[in-house]
Amino acid sequence: MKLSVIVPFYNVQTYAPDTLRSLRMNTRDDFEFILVDDCSTDWTPEVLERGVREIPGARLIRHERNRGLPTSRNTGIDAARGEYIGFLDGDDWASPGHFERLVTAIEHLGCDFVRNDHVQVNGTAREIRRVPVARRNEVLSPRDEILPVNRSSAVDYPNACTGLFHRRLVDRGLLHFVEELRTCEDRPWIWRLHREAESFAAVSEMGMFYRRGVPTSLTQIGDMRQLDFTRAFDLIVEETAKDRDAAKLLPKVVRTYCALICFHLGRADQLEPKVARKLYAVTASALKRMPQDVLREVLDGMDSERAARLRRLRRRSSTAGSTSPTNSPGSSGEVAA
């Protein structure tokens, strides 16, 4: 088997037909499509049953209880038989021949993994998103593309569906996702790949269409799962601190962590009120857990508005849940600032 494409589904009956149609346009005798139904409660299971009958090489695996996206992907990885592994989400789609073009690219280059550009879809709007790597179709060191600190780099492009991965990464324990994370699961994953894999390449293939604004997507849900980005980045900090290049790489981790904290503070009004209050407590605590010398260096290099907000937040109590609605920064207009 040349390629296994893993596609998790959960309550996406509206979008699953588009995803399955795109898989039918990507079939090949040596391709398999592993459809993982994460205990959907709508009509998704029926849509998938029909898809398995109609798509050559499709297999359906069902979870008996809802276990989340990372576990669904891991289920697919464990069942995969292909030399190469790819991912697609159940509300996205791929252009005809997309996966064959990626297989041709990775076989020609002979690297551990390739990353590709994609099209972000929001309603009728389309926006091209490119891998932030300048050199294309050239085998590179994944570690060398983590930096620079102050600009977007390969680790800031974490979407697992934009790439293809050699099975040897599974054998080395680098391709599975952290199952305890309900969001941001791709962040520790992409950092681990770039720290520990040996080779990769960026290719100018734009056949993956990533749908934004889906109501069931975790990026659209304002509950406690949104706060898992702190758990994800705590893990990245912990693992990177043990790396041989920790002194060089930790400023990148901390700066990205700080940028995400600012991003989430800026959208706190979209969260459930109790989650917004919790956000200030957990992010204040997160700032205190970071390597303080690295954090000071990062804040000195950030723009004054975000640095000031983070310094104020760092002075807050690190006890999660200690913030009340009357004394949270959001109640004084900081979120809207």
CB crowding 55-87: b at 16 or more within 10 Å, else e: bebbbbbebeeebbbbbbbbbbbeebebbbbbb
**Amino acid letter, residue 301:** G
Q: H or E segment at 33? A: strand 31-37
**Amino acid letter, residue 222:** G
Peptide bond into 148 cis (omega under 30): yes
Of 125, 107, 105, the closest CA to residue 115 belongs to 105
Task: Give the model's pLDDT for residue 222.
Answer: 54
Give the chain's radius of gyration (CA, Å). 20
Task: Give the model's pLDDT for residue 329.
Answer: 34
Q: Are 5 and 99 in contact (CB under 8 A)?
A: yes
Q: Which residues of the chain have pLDDT under 50?
A: 218-220, 318-337
Task: Give the model's pLDDT for residue 273.
Answer: 85
Give residue-wise pLDDT tens across range 49-61.
Answer: 999 999 999 999 9
CB crowding 23-40: b at 16 or more within 10 Å, else e: beebeeeebbbbbbbbeb
CATH of 3-218, one of 3.40.50.720, 3.30.230.10, 3.90.550.10, 3.90.78.10: 3.90.550.10
Q: Could you tell me the residue ranges of all domains in the chain?
A: 3-218, 222-332
Residue 318, both tokens = 């690190």
Instruction: Give all strands of the β-sheet with 31-37 in edge-to-edge order.
Output: 58-62, 31-37, 3-9, 84-87, 163-166, 113-116, 200-203
Give residue-wise pLDDT tens across range 128-157.
Answer: 999 999 999 999 999 999 999 999 999 999
CA distance 187 to 277: 24
